[in-house]
């Protein structure tokens, strides 16, 4: 698969690179960013942390705002950030920020007009990792993390693919999308009216049925403006307590939903993943 290099920036002795490529899964041109630590080479392949961003974000938000490169460089971990949805004039969209381009929700859409392009689950789980593995000096070891809609994506994907990832973490995840306004709107559009199908992409519902789960770390701002209505962390906490899984949920006083929150605790999450990746 042909990659077009869009930009290159040296960062903490490693390299931040941005690429575009034609996606067969999404039927459009996609963009992603990758940070390669200085240890990465054909003789020394490094593990990968996949980061899934939230509503309205692109591959750039995390790379430019989270401040993850310094510690990733020291730990020898690559970071891959895909876009949050298909893009382009031919791709279906919506006037709302919480549906359409910028709001793929990491599901495989089944409803028109979305199903032509919105196969984000398959893109993140299959196509993108295969592309990264074939073109960059990375090992087969990978973990996954994300924020808000991306936190939903990371936890949901980890639950559906327990052998594919070493660990999972999330910041302010949409934990129970079938019961919040963002999730209901997106799932109705992408998946249709049959709510039983929504459960296949809901962290709480998937965790209820899981027999085991990989190590997980969740950070939540106690002053997050979306905490009560949209994120439903209390529903996830109830399932975690009932299942007795190795899931740590931390409420951080004074923090909101922004990248100031992510930047404050990203090193903690990188250290967490490094313990399971190396």
pLDDT reported for residue 1: 66
Helices (H) and strands (E) in the chain, counts: 10, 9
In which region does residue 254 sit, left (phi positive, over 0), alpha (psi from -120 to 50) or beta (all else)?
Answer: left
The one-character DSSP state at 90 is T
CATH number, domain with residue 117: 3.40.50.1820
User: How far is Cα 218 from Cα 221, in angstroms, rounded to an integer?
Assistant: 10
- Which structural domain range is residue 232 located in? 3-277
Q: Which of 172, 202, 224, 269 is catalytic?
A: 224
pLDDT reported for residue 244: 85
User: How far is Cα 49 from Cα 277, in angstroms, rounded to an integer?
Assistant: 9
Element (H, E) at 147: strand 138-147
Q: How far apart are the first and last CA of the chain?
A: 29
Is this model's pTM higher than 0.95 or not? yes
Contact 53, 59 (CB under 8 A): yes
User: Could you tell me whether strands 78-82 and 138-147 are parallel, antiparallel, or unpaired per DSSP bridges?
Assistant: unpaired
Is-catalytic flag, 148? yes
271 Cβ contact list (under 8 Å, min separation 6) = 71, 75
229 Cβ contact list (under 8 Å, min separation 6) = 180, 181
Let me know the angle formed at the C-alpha of 23 by 11 and 270, rounded to the nearest 5 degrees.
Answer: 35
The two structure tokens encoding residue 231: 């994120």
Residue spans of the chain under pLDDT 50? none
Burial class (CB in 10 A: 0-12, 13-18, 19+), 117: buried
Is-catalytic flag, 257? yes
Q: Which of 257, 264, 269, 273 is catalytic?
A: 257
Is-catalytic flag, 200? no
CA neighbor of 14 nearest in space, from 71, 65, 81: 71
Number of domains comprising the chain: 1
Q: Which of 148, 167, 169, 264 is catalytic?
A: 148
């Amino acid at each position: 698969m042909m990659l077009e290099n869009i930009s290159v920036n040296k960062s903490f002795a490693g390299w931040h690179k941005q690429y575009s490529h034609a996606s067969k899964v999404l039927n459009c041109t996609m963009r992603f960013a990758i940070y390669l630590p200085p240890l990465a080479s054909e003789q020394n392949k490094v593990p990968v942390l996949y980061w899934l961003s939230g509503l309205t974000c692109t591959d750039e938000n995390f790379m430019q705002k989270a401040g993850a490169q310094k510690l990733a460089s020291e730990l020898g971990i690559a970071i891959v950030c895909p876009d949050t949805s298909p893009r382009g004039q031919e791709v279906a969209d919506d006037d709302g920020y919480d549906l359409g381009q910028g709001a793929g929700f990491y599901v495989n859409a089944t409803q028109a007009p979305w199903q032509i392009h919105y196969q984000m689950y398959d893109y993140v789980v299959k196509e993108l990792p295969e592309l990264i593995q074939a073109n960059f000096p990375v090992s087969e070891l990978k973990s996954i993390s994300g924020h808000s809609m991306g936190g939903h994506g990371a936890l949901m994907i980890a639950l559906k693919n327990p052998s594919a990832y070493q660990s999972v973490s999330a910041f302010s995840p949409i934990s129970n999308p079938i019961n919040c306004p963002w999730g209901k709107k997106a799932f109705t559009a992408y998946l249709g009216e049959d709510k039983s199908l929504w459960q296949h992409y809901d962290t709480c519902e998937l965790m209820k049925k899981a027999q085991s789960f990989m190590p997980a770390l969740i950070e939540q701002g106690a002053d997050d403006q979306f905490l009560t209505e949209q994120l439903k962390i209390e529903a996830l906490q109830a399932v975690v307590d009932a299942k007795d899984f190795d899931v740590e949920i931390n409420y951080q006083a004074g923090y909101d939903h922004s990248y100031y929150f992510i930047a404050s605790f990203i090193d903690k999450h990188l250290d967490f993943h490094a313990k399971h990746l190396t």
